[in-house]
C-alpha cells in the first residue's frame, strides 16, 4: 500500500471516512493549542485550527507527502461549543441543543504542492430531549470527546430531527470538499 498523504489527526472518524473513499494515509497526529482567540468568530476559528494543524504536520513530518488536517466545531447562535470539559458542561451543551437548530463547521486544510482549504457548514436540528435522555447519553461515554457533546454517527444520531448539508462534514471530514482538495494535489478517488 503506497502512502498518498499524512493525516495530521488521531480521529478514528476521519480515518474511517478516508478509508471509505480508499485513500491511503499515515496517521501522524499533531498537538496544538485549540483555544479560541478573544472574540474570534466561529468560521475564523475553525479555518485557523485546520490550517495550523496542517502547518504543524508539514513542519513535523516534512513535505514528502501532502498533509491533511481538519477541524470541526458545533456553533449555536455564534457561540463555539467545543468538546465538553466535564459532565456538567456536556449536559449544559445538550440542553442548549435540545429542540434547536445549530450549525456544524468543518474546515479542511491540505498542504502539499500548494495549500488548499475548504469549509463545510451544515445545519442540524435536534428534537427536544428529555433530561433522562441527556444524562443517559452522557453515561454512555459517547459525548465525552465530541464537539457539541454528541456524535451524529453514533447513538447521538437519534437526537437529530433533520440535517441540511454534509453528513460526513458533521462526522468530521466533508468528503465532497476533501475529494476536491485531494484532486488539486493529484490524488484521485477513482
Annotation marks residue 131 as catalytic: no
Helix (H), strand (E) at residue 16: helix 12-20
CB-CB contact of 88 with 54 (8 Å): no
DSSP code for 140: T
Instruction: Give the separation between CA 43 and CA 80, rounded to whole angstroms.
Output: 10
Are 126 and 160 spatial neighbours (Cβ–Cβ below 8 Å)?
Answer: yes
Q: CB within 8 A of 73, min separation 6: which ones?
A: 42, 45, 46, 49, 80, 81, 82, 104, 105, 106, 147, 148
- Report strand pairing: 115-126 vs 101-111: antiparallel
CB contact at 8 A, 76 and 102:
yes
3-state secondary structure at position 168: helix
Q: Looking at 31, 33, 71, 131, which residue is catalytic?
A: 71
User: Hey, which residues are catalytic here?
Assistant: 71
Amino acid at each position: 500500500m503506497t502512502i498518498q498523504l499524512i493525516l495530521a489527526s488521531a480521529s478514528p472518524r476521519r480515518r474511517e471516512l478516508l478509508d471509505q473513499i480508499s485513500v491511503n494515509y499515515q496517521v501522524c497526529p499533531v498537538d496544538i493549542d485549540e483555544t479560541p482567540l478573544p472574540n474570534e468568530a466561529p468560521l475564523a476559528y475553525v479555518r485557523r485550527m485546520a490550517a495550523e494543524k496542517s502547518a504543524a504536520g508539514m513542519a513535523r513530518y516534512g513535505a514528502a507527502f501532502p498533509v491533511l488536517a481538519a477541524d470541526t466545531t458545533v456553533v449555536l447562535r455564534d457561540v463555539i461549543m467545543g468538546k465538553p470539559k466535564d459532565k456538567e458542561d456536556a449536559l449544559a451543551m445538550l440542553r442548549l441543543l435540545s429542540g434547536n437548530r445549530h450549525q456544524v463547521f468543518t474546515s479542511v486544510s491540505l498542504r502539499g504542492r500548494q495549500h488548499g482549504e475548504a469549509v463545510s457548514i451544515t445545519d442540524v436540528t435536534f428534537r427536544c430531549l428529555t433530561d433522562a435522555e441527556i444524562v443517559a447519553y452522557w453515561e454512555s461515554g459517547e459525548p465525552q470527546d465530541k464537539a457539541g457533546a454528541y456524535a451524529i454517527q453514533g447513538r447521538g444520531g437519534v437526537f437529530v430531527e433533520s440535517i441540511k448539508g454534509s453528513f460526513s462534514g458533521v462526522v468530521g471530514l466533508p468528503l465532497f470538499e476533501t475529494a476536491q482538495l485531494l484532486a488539486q494535489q493529484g490524488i484521485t478517488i477513482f
